[in-house]
Amino acid sequence: MMSFLRRFKPAYAIYNFFQKGRLGHIQSTYRKLGINKSYYEPVTHRDFKGKVGESPWLDRLDSREVLPDNEKFRQLPPSLQNQILNWSERGYAILPGFFDERQVEFINAEIEKIVANNQADWKANHTKIMFAVRQSDALRQMVDAPRVRDVLELLLGREVQLFQSINFLEGSQQKTHSDSVHMTTFPLGNLIAIWIALEDIKPGSGVLHYYPGSHTLPYIMTDDFEHGGSRWFLGKEAYPKYEERIAEVIRENNFEKQNFLAKKGDILIWHANLLHGGNPITDSDLSRKSMVLHYYAKGVACYHEITQRPALFE
Ligand SMILES: O=C(O)CCC(=O)C(=O)O
C-alpha cells in the first residue's frame, strides 16, 4: 500500500518541477502532439485520448510475413531468426545461450563488485538491485550491447534507449502484470524488455512465467479497474486492484501459462503488453540470479500509468 506522501500528487509535481533536464522528453512529446501540459504534471492515458500515434510495425503487420524480406533480419544468424519469426503471434522470443559462460560470469562479478562497494540501490528487502548499469560502465557495455539493441530495434521498428536495469538475486514473486502499466507509452507498445538468466534456473526458485499471445489483449489502464484515485491523490489500493483485474483477464481468456526454466545465459525478450510475473518461491534456499533491462522506443511519451509520473531518465 502506498504511503500518504507517495499518494499525494502535488508532492511529485513539486519534485518533478526540479527535474526539468530529465523530463524534457515528455515536454517535447506534448508539444508535438498539441497537448497543453507541463513536464512536471501528473499524466495518464487520458491525456492522449484522441491523439493519433503509430503502434510498432510488428503489431500492425505479421512478423512471419514481413521479417523474411527485411535486410536486418536476413543478417541475423538463422537460429536467432527462427526464434523471433513468430513475434507478432507470441509476443516473446527466447534466445538460448545469447550470453556465454564468460559473459555471464563477468556480469555476476560486476554485480558482486557493486554490492561489495556499497553502491547497490537495493529494493525489496535486499533481493533486487535497481540501475546497476549506472554504477558500472563495463556492465552496461556488456548487457546494453549493439547486438542486443539490433534485435530490439528490429522488433520495435524504432531506435531504443535503455530506461532501467533490475538485478534479482531471488525470485521477484511479482504477480502477473503487463509492463505497460509501469512503463506506459504513447503510442502504446513502444517498450520492450529482455530478461537474462545469470544462473541455471531451478524449479521452486520463483521462476519467471509468461502467457504467450497475451500481448494482443487490450492494454489495461486505470479506467479498466477501480483505482480509487482522485484529483489530488492516487488510490491506496490501485496496484492490488490492477493485479486483481489482470487475474480476471487471465481467467476470462484461455492463455496458457509458461514457465521459463532458463539455462545460464539464455534470454527472453517480451513485448510491452505480454503478461508475465514471478512464481511464488517454494524453496527459500534457492537463488534466482537474473537481470531485466527495460527499453523505451525513442521519441514516444513514457510514463507510469498508476503513479501518473513521467519517466525520469538519467
Ligand atoms: O523476474 C521476475 O520475476 C519478474 C520481472 C518483471 O516482471 C519485470 O521486470 O517486469
CA of 21 to the centre of ligand 1 (A): 29
Query: pLDDT higher for 257 or 232?
Result: 257
Q: Is the CB of 205 under 6 A from ligand 1?
A: no
CA of residue 178 to ligand 1 center, whole Å:
10
Check if 292 has its Cβ closer than 6 Å to any atom of ligand 1: yes
Shortest-distance Cα residue to atom 7 of ligand 1: 277
pLDDT for residue 290 is more than 70: yes
Rounded mean pLDDT of 255-279? 98
Of all protein residues, the one whose alpha carbon is nearest to atom 9 of ligand 1 is 292
pLDDT at 5: 79
Question: What average pLDDT does range 33-37 have in this prediction?
Answer: 95
Q: Which atom of ligand 1 is nearest to the CA of 278?
A: 3
Domains of the chain and CATH, by start: 4-310 (2.60.120.620)
Q: Using most ligand atoms within 8 A of CB, pick from 168, 179, 195 the residue to mutate for ligand 1.
A: 195
Could you give the C-alpha distances from 132 to 157, 170, 287, 292, in angstroms and in order? 27, 16, 18, 11
Q: Is the pLDDT of residue 3 over 80?
A: no
pTM: 0.96
User: C-alpha distances in angstroms, 280 versus 12, 123, 284, 288?
Assistant: 33, 18, 10, 12
Q: For ligand 1, pick from 123, 128, 166, 196 the residue to mutate: most ligand atoms within 8 Å of CB.
A: 166
Whose Cα sits closest to atom 6 in ligand 1?
A: 277
Q: How far is the CA of 173 from the centre of ligand 1 (A)?
A: 8
Residue 1 pLDDT exceeds 80? no
Residue 4: pLDDT above 80? Answer: no
Q: Decide whether any atom of ligand 1 lies within 6 Å of the 27 Cβ.
A: no
Residue 9 in this model has a pLDDT that exceeds 70: yes
Task: Indicate the top mutation candidate among 167, 183, 194, 292 to test ligand 1's pocket, ranked by most ligand atoms within 8 A of CB.
Answer: 292
Question: Which cell numbers in the block locate residue 302?
Answer: 513514457
Decide if 307 contacts 184 (C-beta within 8 A): no
Instruction: Report the distance separating Cα 89 and Cα 123, nearest Å.
Output: 34
Using a 6 Å cutoff on CB, does residue 272 contact ligand 1?
no
> In this model, does residue 165 exceed pLDDT 90?
yes
CA of 38 to the centre of ligand 1 (A): 31
Q: How far apart are CA 101 and CA 265, in angstroms?
A: 7
pLDDT digits (tens, 9 = 90+) for 189-210: 999 999 999 999 999 999 999 9
163 lines ligand 1 (CB under 6 A): no
Q: Is the CB of 166 under 6 A from ligand 1?
A: yes
CA distance 73 to 292: 24
| Atom of ligand 1 at shortest range from CA of 168 | 1
Residue 141, pLDDT score: 98
Predicted confidence at residue 6, as pLDDT, reads 82
Residue with the three cell numbers 513539486: 14
